Amino acid sequence: NGELLRWDGPLAPVRSPIFLATDEGDQQVTLGSTPLLDADAALAALDAAVAAYDNGQGEWPNLRVAERITHVERFLARMREQRTAVVKLLMWEIGKNLKDSEKEFDRTCDYIVDTIEALKALDRRSSRFELEQGTLGQIRRVPLGVALCMGPYNYPLNETFTTLIPALIMGNTVVFKPAKFGVLLIRPLLEAFRDSFPPGVINVIYGRGRETVSALMASGKVDVFAFIGTHSGAADLKKLHPRPHRLRAALGLDAKNPGIVLPSVDLDNAVSEAITGALSFNGQRCTALKILFVHEDVLDSFLDKFSAKLAELKPGMPWEPGVALTPLPEPGKVDYLKGLLEDALAKGAKIINAGGGESRESFFYPALLSPVRADMRLYNEEQFGPLVPVVPYRELDEVIDYVLQSDYGQQLSLFGNDPAQIGPLVDAFVNQVGRININAQCQRGPDSYPFNGRKNSAEGTLSVHDALRTFSIRTLVATRFT
Ligand code: G3H
């Protein structure tokens, strides 16, 4: 509610995935701590947002668009001053390498600039028009109410801000819960929030989701639920809302994006795209390629080229130049990945690359695995980490069946140069996923394009333009001349 929190309750330590050598051996770095809010404290933040919205009568939802834009521009200027601090925390909190951390920061700033421009254009179009003879129409794009925005740890800045900024700029008031890892990096921005927006318009909470977020949802006072995380987590939280039919949701959820390598493939391009697609930020991207179907005619060459290129990826600390493979922030993740690996090996898969699957502390060296089959966990489970399962195939039927039967439907990639084969595949898949990439990896960007998915992968569409619509509704004012 426009004040920095004074908190004398319990704190949660924030641990880095990075271990440093000390006289007593390698020690995990503790970066600081965050307040562990209880349900009452979280509800107080929600009440501040509810009061600022004031059932649509508050100052913020009724400001002219140009004025709300001024507030967001003020915030952006202050945010840019914190680039060094935020980038450093991206590296230390989630282990993202320097290049990608800088990219995340800059991409988020660009997203805000583009959102402002898109809103100006949208606003220009909302002029008066003749609805029918004798009736003047005007469409007013208005906010929805109080938005709860929660981001994921892999993009604690970018993903979160792609809901937070459109929610704010459209006149909603917001409660924002930073990701579990990547929480301290919001701290350098708190004063910018406080100084750029009226009290109650943006409220930041910390703590365990099962206490804080559950209480917010159960209160029935949340109108828009923006969440990037697991499908089951989103479903559990939505169920708590007493009037779920009145809740608008913008959800980015699970994915198991397949890469499909056809016999007509340009192998060098496919390997280069697939390796970045599967392993950038250690495979911890919802858009990562999480299973590769490779035609038997090109299988050996594909595996050889992939392992050779994988060997070029440099492991190390996030700030070291050229480092691609870094420590994983989720506690227990290394053991989870080992479990998936052991299951696949026990059922007949082999590790193709030297050193694949080796681990130390929070570091896990990527493993390329083949042949992966339907009875292995890696066939359907979203690994969200550096394991690359390869399924050899002879007939495309198995691949088509996989996509059609999958619970996920975010994106897929097709690698091949035979239009006679690719055209029908695109037709077969166009109703299954949110994006089809041909000869390119799966990815979200550019952020101005629709980002969505089918089945358990998403609800609603995000992009610079779509998000403005997601966080607002159109009211028609129709004036009949008498
Ligand atoms: O984790 C999901 C992100 O939206 C992925 O974005 O494809 O740009 O890495 P990206």
Separation of 444 CA from ligand 1 center, angstroms?
5
Q: For ligand 1, atom 6, which residue shows the shortest CA distance?
A: 444
* pLDDT for 126: 67
Ligand 1: which of 96, 103, 254, 285 to mutate, most ligand atoms within 8 Å of CB? 285
Give the position, in ligand 1's atom list, of the atom nearest the Cα of 280. 9
Q: For ligand 1, atom 8, which residue shows the shortest CA distance?
A: 444
Q: For ligand 1, atom 2, which residue shows the shortest CA distance?
A: 286
Q: What is the DSSP letter of 45?
A: H
Separation of 112 CA from ligand 1 center, angstroms?
17
Question: How far is 251 from 228, CA to CA, in rounded Å?
Answer: 6
CA–centroid distance for 202 within its chain: 20
* pLDDT for 332: 97
Hey, what long-range contacts does 217-223 have (CB within 8 A, 24 or more apart)?
Answer: 217/148, 217/241, 218/242, 219/43, 219/46, 221/46, 221/47, 221/50, 221/146, 222/46, 222/146, 222/147, 222/148, 222/175, 222/247, 223/144, 223/145, 223/146, 223/147, 223/172, 223/247, 223/248
Ligand 1: which of 251, 443, 457, 466 to mutate, most ligand atoms within 8 Å of CB? 443
Does residue 101 line the site of ligand 1, with CB under 6 A?
no
Does residue 302 line the site of ligand 1, with CB under 6 A?
no
pLDDT in 10s for each residue of the chain, 482 residues: 999 888 999 999 999 999 999 999 999 999 999 999 999 999 999 999 999 999 999 999 999 999 999 999 999 999 999 999 999 999 999 999 999 999 999 999 999 999 999 999 988 776 788 999 999 999 999 999 999 999 899 999 999 999 999 999 999 999 999 999 999 999 999 999 999 999 999 999 999 998 999 999 999 999 999 999 999 999 999 999 999 999 999 999 999 999 999 999 999 999 999 999 999 999 999 999 999 999 999 999 999 999 999 999 999 999 999 999 999 999 999 999 999 999 999 999 999 999 999 999 999 999 999 999 999 999 999 999 999 999 999 999 999 999 999 999 999 999 999 999 999 999 999 999 999 999 999 999 999 899 999 999 999 999 999 999 999 999 999 999 98
Beta pairing class for 224-228 and 146-150? parallel
Q: For ligand 1, atom 4, which residue shows the shortest CA distance?
A: 444
Does residue 201 line the site of ligand 1, with CB under 6 A?
no
Does residue 432 line the site of ligand 1, with CB under 6 A?
no
Does residue 285 line the site of ligand 1, with CB under 6 A?
yes
Question: Taking Cα atoms as reference points, which of 150, 403, 170 lies closest to residue 253?
Answer: 150
Look at the block and give the residue holding tokens 């035979």. 418
Structure tokens at 158: 């970018």
Give the position, in ligand 1's atom list, of the atom nearest the Cα of 285. 1
Question: How far is 434 from 17, CA to CA, in rounded Å?
Answer: 33
Does residue 96 line the site of ligand 1, with CB under 6 A?
no
* pLDDT for 128: 84
Does residue 160 line the site of ligand 1, with CB under 6 A?
no
Give the position, in ligand 1's atom list, of the atom nearest the Cα of 107. 8
CA distances from 437 to 50, 263, 308, 396, 414 (A): 42, 17, 24, 17, 6
Q: What is the ipTM of this complex?
A: 0.92
Does residue 443 line the site of ligand 1, with CB under 6 A?
yes
Per-state percent for the chain, helix, strand, coil, to nearest 5: 45, 25, 35
The model's pTM: 0.96
Type and span of the H or E element at 148: strand 146-150
Beta pairing class for 25-35 and 128-132? unpaired
